[in-house]
């Protein structure tokens, strides 16, 4: 970019320092901030409103498949976690442990933990074992199956290096847990929930995803198979945006979840678990944000429209506010995908900064209303997916009539833009040299900038996968579900391979 590049609201811009741009966008959009508690975030109202809408979308999609919500304890006895060997090993390094249950005055008058627990409690990093304990009580017969439960909760994974929404010690998520009579049914459920994550990402978050299987080394600890959806961010790195696990009978055996069949034999159930988190907000920021802030897909934006009354003289106030409020009422009566349009009125007396505040916050439509607009029965609108200067005057009636169409158009344009970026930075690569070049940063000062996603062959050996990760910091994001079997040779070791996998750097 030339030195004369236009002024942007976010500094640095994406091209100059993508990781820092991400932090600055979060600050400027008022979504969240770092907490005084190490590694934890405070989600502010604009960010939480976004999460509430994502929750609402997923919750209703889950429920259409028969899932019901419930709630389980925050604390998990250590012995529960130990029931599944791979599971405890996978989470051991990031557990917050409760070891005492009260405080006492110490020798220097300060408070110190006292009353050691006979068995330490783990603050849940995930709930397979504590939910398994309940499932063992709830399930006795084949008539109790399938059991389809979801929990909206917080979890804690003690992260050493944190980044808001992407990696924090505490985060919000949903975790679904199901139990089934047969392997086939559990596998079908695993796939069904992955499809719901893909639908949420693509239809609501306007974030195109690739569905696939994780390699054994990237599986959820204790799972037989892990499926994931993977999205490309604007720095061409992958973001895992939801995972669905087929757990086989591993957790059923660990928690003794059995049922009596119609023929009166005793069998272990087959279980699944699936989760997605506030990480999705990080995905929305990195998929749609630009150098002026975030851009929110209208279907999940906390509000779709902000009205900005322009009052230059005190005597104009009444007329402008009346016009603004009556327009707000009219807009709120419009149904947008099953819900009322949400409208903000911003009449703060801060001049042009108001418009920029909403640009940074990513609201889909800004509507300015001044005395001249009232005389002409018009409004002056700006779309967040267009250049901030690109605004137009249209009649109030036309605006109201076409509002949902315009919002749908923004939603689609965001998806198309993200899909085009992914297509432009995805390659089929069969030459090792080319593969290495693809993932080598073009500029040593900006190590994050590289090629993108490579569809290349993999022999299936974990050693080869580990070598690639070590050499290039590239991992196999998934073995795509919607891809044809194709004979080839491994990109790294030349051994035979039956399918291409998706290689990328990842968050």
Q: Find the shortest distance in angstroms from Cβ 461 to Zn ion.
A: 5
Instruction: Give the sheet arrangement for strand 75-77, strand by strand.
Output: 75-77, 111-123, 97-105
- Residue whose tokens read 């490579």: 454
CB 284 within 8 A of CB 207: yes
CB of 180 within 8 A of CB of 269? yes
Candidate segments 283-291, 396-404, 444-452, 455-463, binder of Zn ion by CB under 5 A: 455-463
Q: How far is CA 386 from CA 205, 272, 359, 368, in A?
A: 18, 43, 11, 16
The residue among 40 and 493 lying less far from Zn ion, judged by its C-beta, is 493
- Contact stretch for Zn ion (CB under 5 A) within 146-154, 286-294, 368-376, 493-501: 493-501
> Can you list the alpha helix ranges (DSSP code H) found in 158-278?
183-199, 250-255
The answer to the question of residue 490 lying near Zn ion (CB under 5 A) is yes
Binding mask 412-451 for Zn ion (x = CB under 5 A): ----------------------------------------
- Please say which residue, 274 or 492, places its beta carbon nearer to Zn ion: 492
Q: Which stretch binds Zn ion (CB under 5 A): 21-29, 61-69, 452-460, 478-486?
A: 452-460
Task: Report in angstroms how near the CB of residue 436 gets to Zn ion at its nearest.
Answer: 14
**The pair of three-digit structure tokens given for residue 73, joined into one six-digit string:** 């304890």
Give the residue with the Cβ less far from Zn ion, 398 or 494: 494
Q: How many whole angstroms separate alpha carbon 382 and alpha carbon 305?
A: 10
Closer Cβ to Zn ion, 406 or 464, answer by number? 464
Residue nearer to Zn ion on the CB measure, 367 or 478: 478
Interface stretch with Zn ion, choices 182-190, 276-284, 360-368, 453-461 (CB under 5 A): 453-461
* Token reading at 501: 């996998």
69 vs 498, which CB is nearer to Zn ion?
498
Measured distance CA(177)–CA(505) in Å, rounded: 30
Question: Considering the complex, what minimum distance in angstroms separates the CB of residue 429 from Zn ion?
Answer: 14
Query: Residue written as tokens 């609402």?
Result: 56
Nearer to Zn ion by C-beta: 141 or 463? 463
| Cβ-contact 288, 296 below 8 angstroms | yes
**Burial (CB count within 10 angstroms: exposed 0-12, middle 13-18, buried 19+), residue 179:** buried
Compute the half-sphere exposure of residue 358: CA atoms within 13 Å on the CB side of its CA: 31
Asked whether the beta carbons of 494 and 502 are under 8 A apart, the reply is: no
* Candidate residues 40, 345, 394, 493; the one interacting with Zn ion per rule CB under 5 A: 493
Least distance (Å) between residue 487 CB and Zn ion:
14
**Residue 501 makes contact with Zn ion by CB under 5 A:** no
- Window 457 to 486, contacts with Zn ion (CB under 5 A): 459, 464
Residues interacting with Zn ion, by CB under 5 A? 459, 464, 490, 492-493
């Amino acid at each position: 970019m030339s030195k004369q590049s236009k002024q942007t609201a976010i500094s640095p811009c994406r091209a100059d320092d993508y990781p820092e741009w991400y932090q600055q966008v979060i600050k400027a959009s008022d979504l969240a901030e770092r907490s005084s508690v190490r590694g934890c975030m405070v989600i502010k109202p604009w960010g939480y409103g976004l999460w509430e809408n994502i929750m609402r979308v997923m919750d209703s999609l889950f429920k259409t498949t028969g899932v019901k919500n419930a709630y389980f304890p925050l604390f998990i006895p250590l012995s529960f976690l130990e029931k599944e060997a791979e599971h405890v090993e996978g989470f051991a390094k990031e557990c917050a442990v409760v070891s005492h249950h009260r405080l006492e005055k110490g020798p220097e008058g300060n408070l110190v933990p006292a009353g050691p627990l006979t068995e330490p409690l783990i603050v849940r990093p995930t709930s397979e074992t504590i939910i398994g304990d309940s499932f063992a009580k709830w399930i006795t017969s084949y008539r109790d199956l399938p059991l389809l439960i979801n929990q909206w909760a917080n979890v804690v994974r003690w992260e050493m290096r944190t980044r808001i929404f992407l990696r924090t010690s505490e985060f919000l998520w949903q975790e679904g847990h199901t139990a089934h009579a047969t392997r086939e049914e559990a596998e079908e459920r695993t796939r069904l929930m992955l499809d719901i994550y893909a639908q949420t990402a693509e239809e609501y978050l306007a974030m195109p995803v690739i569905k696939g299987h994780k390699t054994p080394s990237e599986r959820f600890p204790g799972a037989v198979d892990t499926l994931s959806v993977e999205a490309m961010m604007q720095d061409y790195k992958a973001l895992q945006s939801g995972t669905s696990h087929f757990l086989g009978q591993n957790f059923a055996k660990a928690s003794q979840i059995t049922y009596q069949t119609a023929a009166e034999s005793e069998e272990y159930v087959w279980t699944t678990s699936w989760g997605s988190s506030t990480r999705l907000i990080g995905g929305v920021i990195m998929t749609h944000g630009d150098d002026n802030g975030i851009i929110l897909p209208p279907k999940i934006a906390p509000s779709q429209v902000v009205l900005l009354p322009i009052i230059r003289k005190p005597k104009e106030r009444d007329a402008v506010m009346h016009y603004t409020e009556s327009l707000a009422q009219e807009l709120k009566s419009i149904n947008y995908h099953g819900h009322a349009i949400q409208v903000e009125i911003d009449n703060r007396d801060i001049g042009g900064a108001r418009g920029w505040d909403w640009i940074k916050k990513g609201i889909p439509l800004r509507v300015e209303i001044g005395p001249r607009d009232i005389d002409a029965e018009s409004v002056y609108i700006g779309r967040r997916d267009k250049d901030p200067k690109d605004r137009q005057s249209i009649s109030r009636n036309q605006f109201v009539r076409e509002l949902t169409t315009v919002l749908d158009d923004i939603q689609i344009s965001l998806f198309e833009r993200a899909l085009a970026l992914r297509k432009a930075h995805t390659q089929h690569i069969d030459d090792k040299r080319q593969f290495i070049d693809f993932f080598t940063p073009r500029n040593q000062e900006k190590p994050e900038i590289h090629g993108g996603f490579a569809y290349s062959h993999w022999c299936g050996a974990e050693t080869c996968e580990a070598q690639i990760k070590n050499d290039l910091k590239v991992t196999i994001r998934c073995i795509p579900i919607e891809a044809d079997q194709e004979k080839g040779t491994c990109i790294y070791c030349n051994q035979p391979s039956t399918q291409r996998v998706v290689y990328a750097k990842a968050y």
